[in-house]
Amino acid sequence: MARLIRTEKEVEGRYTEQWIVVEEDPLDRWPEGPLEVVGRPAARVDGLQRARGEARYTADLALPGMLHAAVLRSPHAHARVRRLDFAPALEAPGVRAAVGPGDCDVLVEEAGYQGAPVAALAADTFSEAQAALARVGVEWEVLEPLLDPDEAVSRGELIEEASRYERGDVERGLAEADVVVEAEYRTATVLHNALETHQAVCEWEGDELTVYISTQWIWGVRKDVAKRLGLPPDKVRVVCEYMGGGFGAKIDPGDHTYLAAELARRTGRPVRCALTRREENLASGNRHATVQRLRAGAKADGTLTALEGEFTMAVGWDGFVSSTAGPMKMLYGCENVRTVELGAKLTTGPNDAFRAPGFVEGTFGLERLLDELAAKLELDPLELRRRNGADADPVDGRPFSAKNLAECYRRAEPHWARRGEVRARSEGPWRRGVGLASQVWYGGGGPPSYAWVRVGSDGRATVLTAMQDIGTGTRTAMAQIAAEELGLPLERLSVSLGDSSRGPYAAISAGSSTTPSMGPAVRAAAADAARQIVEIAAQRFEVEERVLSLRGGRVVSEDGKSWALEDVTGLLEDGQILGKGSRGPNPAGMRVLTFGVQVAEVAVDVETGEVRVERIAAIHDVGRVVNPLGASSQVEGGIIQGIGHTLSEQRLLDPGSGRALTVTLDAYKLPTIADVPEIVTELLDVPDGHLTSLGSKGLGEPPIIPTAAAIANAIRDATGADVRSLPITREEMLRALREARERAYAL
Amino acid sequence: MTELLVNGGRHEVHGSVLTTLAEVLRGHLGLTGTKVACGEGHCGACTVLLDGAPALACITLLEAVGEREVTTIEGLRDHPLVDAFVRADAVQCGFCTPGQIVSAAALVRETPAPTREQVRHAMAGNLCRCGTYPKIEEAISTWQG
Amino acid sequence: MSARTLSRPASLEALDETAVPLAGGTDLVPLVRDGLVEAETLVDVRSLLPRGVEPGGIGIGAGTTLADLERSGEVPDALREACRLAASPQLRAMGTIGGNLLQATRCWYWRLAFPCYLHGGDRCHAREGEHREHAIFAVEPCASAHPSDPAAALLALGAVVETTRRRLPLAELYRLPTEDDRRLTTLAGGELILRLRLEEPDASVYLKAMDRQRWSFPLVGVAAARYGEETRLALAGVAPIPWALGSPADLDAATPLPGTAYKVDIARALVGRALAAVR
């Protein structure tokens, strides 16, 4: 029965309260461990299309008559348009339309960052559009850039009011501490660089708009575009069949979509607006830099008595202040915690969500601090973490729906025990060491989310839902879940997704929520279809429904008799069995979180500052694992991105002009295959007993969270040097080594 | 008009001096398996073979291709590497995957059973932001089944 | 975008002064497209350039790709290793050794068309700005760093360059920019590198520090080649041009910028290792 509830909704660590209509989730939980299909490794159902280059991405779409947009962007970090003259550009070959501030509200007269869109035009080809841009007459009044987050804070230039949090009494906690450590940690601005850049193709048919877009949230795009253009949502169709990576930056429609829609409206032609790689690295979002001034106090036995942090985030001209203090509030059961988060408004590109926004940065600071504390206490770092575990949410005392961090620690022991052997392999200038860091994150998903399952007379089934697979393998996971419930082999499942006109509302692919949001809805839809199949079979074969079940592509009776599924569905001829399902509510009054720990082994060349990550063991608890193969890919992907943030990636700005210098992929250094260590993935694979009939949580984000801290802690173990700033470039490593030598010398 | 030999077929194509091979493949010949992700020779998504050697189609001028035969992912669709990539889950978002497979095809043609180090050396010009690298290593190590 | 024509000359000997030769195109094509190189007339010389390694008193055709050299058993270790660690596999398969020696700096200010000294402007933006990848020698008036790994190897190997017009030691192919001439090479318009000649050393090595394990330009590259008792050293990534180092002690004379001082430490370590390796 449908039920109206008021519930907390969480995306990327941001909570909102809202009314939601939910269906109950009446299905029995599946037993723990691998089932017939769920819990077993499956190759991607769309792997062949992607590997052969047959999958059509937004980037591959060529509609008849399609025009190409190019966007005039501010070359300055801060400037005002004094004069804008399109006339010469409109006369350029191939140009069909141009828009400026006033024509489309994403175009601005005051550019607050390099790359801010000021004007756009559409031409027959992209090169014509680009060539015509050079002919737009534009006169700039260059304004003062503001690049330093601390300076912005001192000037009161904040994105929003400071966010303060306090529990207990930090002064008392510090007074009671036997040991206090204090340090400043910094993380750099890093860039998403999904290989498919942000892009959309917009096409009007009458008053209906179709948006083909590389997005993480079909329904969010539908809602936002409809609202901004004043259309009923049903007049907006959003399509994203395949997409080339998002990592958090492709949630909103983005300026490019509105520009394409406006230019398409003016020209009566479909219009593509695609960012170039350089535009992507200026104007499509980033993980903002942080400055973290942290303090921790502990008793001699390791009990944390106080945690305190001031977090300044270099948010940029726009964007949200990500919850960098989150790990400090949530990871340990410390009674006295005080944090303040300050979001500096700068003349730099807006930040956007990037795979566990805030928690990647905040975990680097917190888990480095814990290791510095462990050293001062002369306590084993793993033991220190164990002694400070929280049995309930330290923020509000809510019970966890499931928490198996202690088991993760136990499973980490053999990896942690390699310390002696790893250190002993130090040789010449190469010093080796081991470090670890813990992880907390959300990942429970939630309602609303819906799915349909269609079974045809041939005994094949199709899952229909207008969700998106952003490359994480959710299309495959949904097929597995439906196959399990229908007792069908995976080959007999299809999944139709990626089009708002082709299925019901589906959840966002962000915040590690796709599987926990969509999976239970798909299971419910498949169960509804299975129930109908059983009803028909019972009538046809004159047996009781309760003795029938679906297994191995057959309808099986308790007495051992069985019939091929087609013998039942075949009766339908052109008829179909239609199941529908929805995501039930989250457990009331409980905190749903994911936990884990990573153990990193590094080698450091103390003469040249080279850091090589040699091995990372990742132990995470994300509830039931639907596809262990895909899950290990998610873990590896998160860790590898984490290694990039840790060692080689940073957006550099010219300090004078505020212009970005690392906007190309030679200068902005993503990890290559040669930078990848041995990665050992261990997932606990224990269903969360309170979370849906599936018991699965999301896995997209947890693996990137502890990587930087684990590596930096391993560097400390190897060399005694404290790296407190990301990325750990050669110069940062050599600086930390010099500081460690000087410290040793001073003793 | 320029004559271009692609995947065993001859095509007459037209372009200006700075028209790239990638533009022609994707725009004129409809071979969209060759992806363009950076457009300036840094990421490897547009990798094709020119007479068997890996080349970046986004910085190869159409008129400079000459007599060399172009092989794109469409010309390798039945290469056993394709299945190996799918089996090993060396495909996440998939946008870099065709380029990865083209590079891998060049590698295994010369070195059918490459070592881990050889794989890492030969594949370092194909960036994958999803981080499928361990699975790519696995796929290339097991491509012969 | 400035290229108007692409032609195939009948021979390499009489190229027009303004002709811009195109071989692998890995550097030139993006630079022309970005308007950083003016090239009214591109001439496709790829199939005309000599390609391959002639053994014995080694000669290397300018059209030999870095991938060819990486796999060649005929070239000294330092050159082979410098090619192996250069760029990416695709760029090595496309790029020729002649073009590699003439590639432009990776200085982001130059590449992003800041009106810098090297572009004819009045100051080096990197000096006051972000310069972690920049020079430690000859940082005035332009602090850019030369990105070629093979150039450092060939400099240590005492390579002689044969062009369509003359023979010259590799060191003389390069020049530091001056007030009236901002170019970094001494090639005249229409002059083309045809061949490199070098003597087989008794031992040679190339060591490279970079930001990732592969596909990075050198922060510091160190080539060492020993001929009898004499060992020659040359560095990549430390000056606007490939930099010959008389002795390890010459590193004391480095004049790094604040953000490149770390490169001196790296160079010291790698020079020590390179010398030990060729001993």
* Cβ contacts from B onto C, under 8 A: 80
The second-level CATH assignment, the architecture, of C46-278 is 2-Layer Sandwich (3.30)
The dihedral built from the CA positions of residue A361, A366, A367 and A373, taken in this order, carries a sign that is: positive
Contact A53, A47 (CB under 8 A): no
Residue that has been written with the tokens 């596909």 in this structure:
C215
Here the tokens at position A481 are 């879940």
Q: Write the pLDDT tens digit of every residue in A430-480.
A: 999 999 999 999 999 999 999 999 999 999 999 999 999 999 999 999 999
Of all helices (H) and strands (E), which one includes residue A505?
none
- What count of other Cβ atoms lies within 10 Å of the Cβ of residue A9? 16
Give the integer Cα–Cα distance in Å for C237 and C242.
7
Helices (H), A158-303: 170-176, 218-229, 254-267, 277-283
Kindly state whether C84 is in contact with chain A, defined as any CB-CB distance less than 8 angstroms.
no
Beta strands in A410-502 (DSSP E): 430-441, 450-455, 461-464, 493-496
Kindly state whether C141 is in contact with chain A, defined as any CB-CB distance less than 8 angstroms.
no
Find the distance separating the first CA and the last CA of chain C, reported in whole Å: 50
Provide the mean pLDDT of chain B. 97
Find the distance separating the first CA and the last CA of chain B, reported in whole Å: 43
Nearest to A621 by CA among A480, A469, A410, A477: A410
Q: Give the pLDDT band of residue A18 (cuts 50, 70, 90).
A: confident
Give the integer Cα–Cα distance in Å for A482 and A536.
19
Percent of chain C clearing pLDDT 70 (strictly above): 99
Determine, for residues B44 and C90 on separate chains, whether the beta-carbon distance falls below 8 Å. yes
User: Which of B43, B48, B61, B103 is the best mutation test for C, with the most CBs of C within 10 A?
Assistant: B61
Across A682-699, average pLDDT:
97
Residue type, A588: A
Provide the mean pLDDT of chain A. 97
Residues of B in contact with A243 (CB under 8 A): 93
Contact A139, A78 (CB under 8 A): no
Neighbouring chains of A at 3+ CB pairs within 8 Å?
B, C
> What is the pLDDT at residue C2?
58
Nearest CA distance, A119 vs chain C (angstrom): 21
Nearest CA distance, C259 vs chain B (angstrom): 25
- What residues have CB less than 8 Å from A446, skipping those under 6 apart? A7, A9, A10, A507, A513, A516, A517, A583, A585, A586
Helices (H), chain B: 21-23, 62-65, 80-87, 97-110, 116-122, 133-141
Determine, for residues B124 and C88 on separate chains, whether the beta-carbon distance falls below 8 Å. yes
Residue C209 phi, psi (nearest 5): -105, 130
User: Which of C265, C273, C275 is the best mutation test for A, with the most CBs of A within 10 A?
Assistant: C265
Determine, for residues C6 and B63 on separate chains, whether the beta-carbon distance falls below 8 Å. yes
Determine, for residues B92 and A54 on separate chains, whether the beta-carbon distance falls below 8 Å. no
Nearest CA in chain A to C133: A667
Residues of B in contact with A676 (CB under 8 A): 120, 131, 133-134, 137
- What count of other Cβ atoms lies within 10 Å of the Cβ of residue A530? 24
Residue that has been written with the tokens 């990638």 in this structure:
B22
Residues of B in contact with A636 (CB under 8 A): 131-135
Q: Is A457 helix (H, G, I), strand (E, B) or coil?
A: coil
Nearest CA distance, A423 vs chain B (angstrom): 24
**What value, to the nearest 5°, has the Cα angle with vertex A348 and ends A342 and A349?**
100
Show which residues on chain A lie within 8 Å of chain C, measured between beta carbons: 131, 429, 605, 607-610, 612, 647-648, 652-656, 659, 661-664, 666-667, 669, 671-675, 729-731, 734-735
Determine, for residues A636 and B132 on separate chains, whether the beta-carbon distance falls below 8 Å. yes
Candidate from A158-172, A300-314, C14-28, C155-169 with smallest mean pLDDT? C14-28
Instruction: Give the DSSP letter of residue B28.
Output: I
Residues of B in contact with A47 (CB under 8 A): 85-86, 89, 91
Nearest CA in chain B to C5: B17
- What residues have CB less than 8 Å from A736, skipping those under 6 apart? A715, A719, A721, A722, A723, A724, A728
Residues 92-121 of C with CB under 8 A from A: 106, 108-109, 111-112, 114
Contact A255, A280 (CB under 8 A): no
Across A257-272, average pLDDT:
98
CA separation, residue C86 to residues B121, B138, C25, C53 (Å): 11, 25, 16, 19
Q: Is A497 helix (H, G, I), strand (E, B) or coil?
A: coil
pTM of model > 0.90: yes
Candidate from A309-318, A350-359, C2-11 with smallest mean pLDDT? C2-11
Residue A58 has pLDDT above 90, yes or no: yes
Residues 202-231 of C with CB under 8 A from B: 213-215
Q: Give the domain ranges of chain C.
A: 46-278
Here the tokens at position A155 are 């000037």
Nearest CA distance, A52 vs chain B (angstrom): 6
Residues of C in contact with B55 (CB under 8 A): 90, 93-94
> What is the pLDDT at residue A637?
98
Residue type, A209: L
Neighbouring chains of B at 3+ CB pairs within 8 Å?
A, C
Q: Give the pLDDT band of residue A2 (cuts 50, 70, 90).
A: confident
Considering only the beta carbons, identify the residue of B31, B38, B126 that sits closest to A277. B38
Kindly state whether C1 is in contact with chain B, defined as any CB-CB distance less than 8 angstroms.
yes
Instruction: For chain A, give the longest Cα–Cα distance.
Output: 89
> What is the pLDDT at residue A393?
97
> What is the pLDDT at residue B91?
98
Across A348-369, average pLDDT:
98
Q: Mean pLDDT in each 10-residue stretch from start to end of chain B (145 residues)?
A: 96 95 97 98 98 98 96 98 98 98 98 97 98 98 93
Give the integer Cα–Cα distance in Å for B103 and B110.
11
Q: Write the pLDDT tens digit of every residue in A104-154.
A: 999 999 999 999 999 999 999 999 999 999 999 999 999 999 999 999 999
Kindly state whether C211 is in contact with chain A, defined as any CB-CB distance less than 8 angstroms.
yes
Residue C197 phi, psi (nearest 5): -125, 140
User: Which of B34, B42, B71, B93 is the best mutation test for A, with the most CBs of A within 10 A?
Assistant: B93
Nearest CA in chain A to C106: A667
Considering only the beta carbons, identify the residue of C108, C128, C132 that sits closest to A656. C128
- What count of other Cβ atoms lies within 10 Å of the Cβ of residue A24? 12
Here the tokens at position A362 are 């905040």
Residues of C in contact with A429 (CB under 8 A): 269
Instruction: For chain B, give the longest Cα–Cα distance.
Output: 44
Give the integer Cα–Cα distance in Å for A464 and A454.
8
> What is the pLDDT at residue C10?
87
Q: Write the pLDDT tens digit of every residue in A611-649.
A: 999 999 999 999 999 999 999 999 999 999 999 999 999
Going from the N-terminus, what domains does chain A have, and what CATH number goes with each? 2-53+445-582 (3.30.365.10), 61-144+195-245+250-283 (3.30.365.10), 398-444+587-747 (3.30.365.10)
Residue A89 has pLDDT above 60, yes or no: yes
Here the tokens at position A205 are 């048919």
Nearest CA in chain B to C33: B18
Instruction: Give the DSSP letter of residue B26.
Output: I
Contact C273, A610 (CB under 8 A): no
Low-confidence ranges of chain C (pLDDT < 50): 1
- What count of other Cβ atoms lies within 10 Å of the Cβ of residue A144? 8
Give the integer Cα–Cα distance in Å for A523 and A515.
11
Instruction: Give the DSSP letter of residue A146.
Output: -
Nearest CA in chain C to A672: C214
Q: Write the pLDDT tens digit of every residue in A594-621.
A: 999 999 999 999 999 999 999 999 999 9
Q: Is A212 helix (H, G, I), strand (E, B) or coil?
A: strand
Contact B45, B125 (CB under 8 A): no
Q: What is the CA radius of gyration of chain C?
A: 18
Determine, for residues C91 and B125 on separate chains, whether the beta-carbon distance falls below 8 Å. yes
User: Which of B59, B68, B110, B127 is the best mutation test for C, with the most CBs of C within 10 A?
Assistant: B59
Contact A709, A596 (CB under 8 A): no
> What is the pLDDT at residue C36?
96
Nearest to A449 by CA among A520, A344, A497: A520
Considering only the beta carbons, identify the residue of C33, C44, C90 that sits closest to B55. C90
Across A180-195, average pLDDT:
98
Nearest CA distance, C12 vs chain A (angstrom): 32
User: Which of C20, C38, C88 is the best mutation test for B, with the most CBs of B within 10 A?
Assistant: C88
Residues of C in contact with B60 (CB under 8 A): 25, 29, 94
Determine, for residues C89 and B122 on separate chains, whether the beta-carbon distance falls below 8 Å. yes
Determine, for residues C5 and B17 on separate chains, whether the beta-carbon distance falls below 8 Å. yes
Here the tokens at position C8 are 């195939």
Residues 92-131 of C with CB under 8 A from B: 93-94
> What is the pLDDT at residue A1?
64
> What is the pLDDT at residue A142?
98
Determine, for residues C209 and A648 on separate chains, whether the beta-carbon distance falls below 8 Å. no
Determine, for residues A676 and B133 on separate chains, whether the beta-carbon distance falls below 8 Å. yes
Residue type, A92: A
Going from the N-terminus, what domains does chain B have, and what CATH number goes with each? 2-74 (3.10.20.30), 76-141 (1.10.150.120)
Q: Give the pLDDT band of residue A7 (cuts 50, 70, 90).
A: confident
